[in-house]
């Protein structure tokens, strides 16, 4: 998309009723009318060339609604989890948008665009200070991707914070045009204690996203800030275990403390990854 078209695309998103359109999309996506949901699913498979051979259920008839199809489970062998106690695995299928070191608390988004750790996490607290010089990776999930998010490392949930916000598209054109995009959109911040130190998994909503869910919370009330604290014995998830899902395409951002991990050298911006694939390692010592 050239710059002129990208500017118009972003301007249109600013004018559109983002949450209203998403509510309408949610109604369609949750329709259990066989005629409606099967038509939506078949058209989606055709448009985005979805590989249904990986799906646990290959027929549109097997899904109660479009959302069930969109968050479909895969066959167990479709996404093997990379082994090793020091290995970090991709939390999702998608394209690596950006990765690297967080510089002076700023996370690189695109040329000339960034956002702060504090703004992304939604609060100036110990974690926003802890990740100031840490490592980050941003993974964009396209509509054709698998839309469940899994643990990159084993960890115990400390808290999660649902932050209301905008619903800009998170494709490359919008990412290049909207400063601080991922810290403006609605998002769910999940912070875990792990053998790698603190780790944050941030699930970012987008235009037409009909909801963000986790395995511990079915859904979150739109436009209402919510913070949940958890005790160590309440939620512990293994590497590769499902932690949440998107009801439409969006973005997952990983944060790690400084001097704890390094990304695999073959993983670069624009690189496609699959859930369970090795993307990094714990630093020795």
CB 117 within 8 A of CB 124: no
Q: What are phi and psi of 162, to 5 degrees?
A: -90, 125
In DSSP terms, 166 is beta-bridged to 185
116 is catalytic: no
By CB atoms closer than 10 A (0-12, 13-18, 19+), residue 65 is middle
Catalytic site residue 93?
Answer: yes
Buried b / exposed e along 196-235 (16+ C-beta atoms within 10 A): bbbbbbbbbbbbbbbbbbbeeeeebeeeeeeeeebeeeeb
CA 90 to chain centre: 11
- The partner residues of 115 in beta bridges, in order of sequence, read 107
Which one from 90, 114, 169, 250 is the annotated catalytic residue? 250
Q: Assess whether 150 carries a catalytic annotation.
A: yes
User: Of residues 22, 90, 93, 169, which has the active-site annotation?
Assistant: 93
Q: Which of 90, 114, 127, 150 is catalytic?
A: 150
Strand partners, 139: 96, 252
List, by residue number, the catalytic residues. 93, 150, 250
């Amino acid at each position: 998309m050239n710059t002129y078209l990208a500017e118009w695309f972003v301007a249109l998103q600013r004018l559109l009723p983002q949450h209203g359109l998403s509510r309408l999309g949610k109604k369609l996506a949750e329709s259990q009318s066989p005629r409606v949901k099967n038509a939506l699913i078949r058209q989606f498979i055709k448009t985005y060339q979805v590989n249904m051979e990986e799906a646990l259920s290959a027929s549109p008839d097997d899904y109660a609604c479009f959302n069930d199809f969109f968050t479909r489970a895969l066959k167990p062998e479709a996404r093997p989890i990379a082994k090793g106690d020091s290995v970090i695995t991709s939390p999702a299928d998608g394209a690596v948008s950006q990765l690297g070191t967080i510089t002076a608390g700023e996370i690189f988004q695109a040329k000339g665009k960034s956002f702060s750790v504090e703004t992304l996490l939604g609060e100036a607290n110990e974690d926003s200070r802890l990740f100031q010089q840490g490592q980050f990776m941003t993974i964009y999930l396209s509509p054709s991707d698998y839309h469940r998010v899994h643990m990159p490392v084993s960890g115990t949930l400390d808290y999660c914070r649902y932050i209301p916000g905008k619903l800009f598209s998170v494709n490359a054109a919008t990412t290049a045009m909207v400063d601080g995009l991922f810290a403006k959109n609605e998002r769910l911040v999940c912070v875990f204690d792990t053998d790698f130190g603190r780790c944050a998994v941030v699930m970012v909503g987008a235009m037409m996203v009909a909801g963000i869910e986790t395995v511990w919370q079915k859904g979150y009330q739109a436009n209402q800030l919510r913070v949940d604290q958890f005790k160590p014995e309440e939620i512990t998830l293994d590497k590769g275990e499902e932690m949440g899902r998107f009801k439409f395409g969006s973005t997952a951002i990983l944060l790690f403390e400084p001097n704890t991990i390094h990304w695999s050298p073959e993983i670069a911006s624009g690189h496609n990854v699959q859930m369970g694939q090795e993307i990094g390692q714990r630093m020795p010592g």
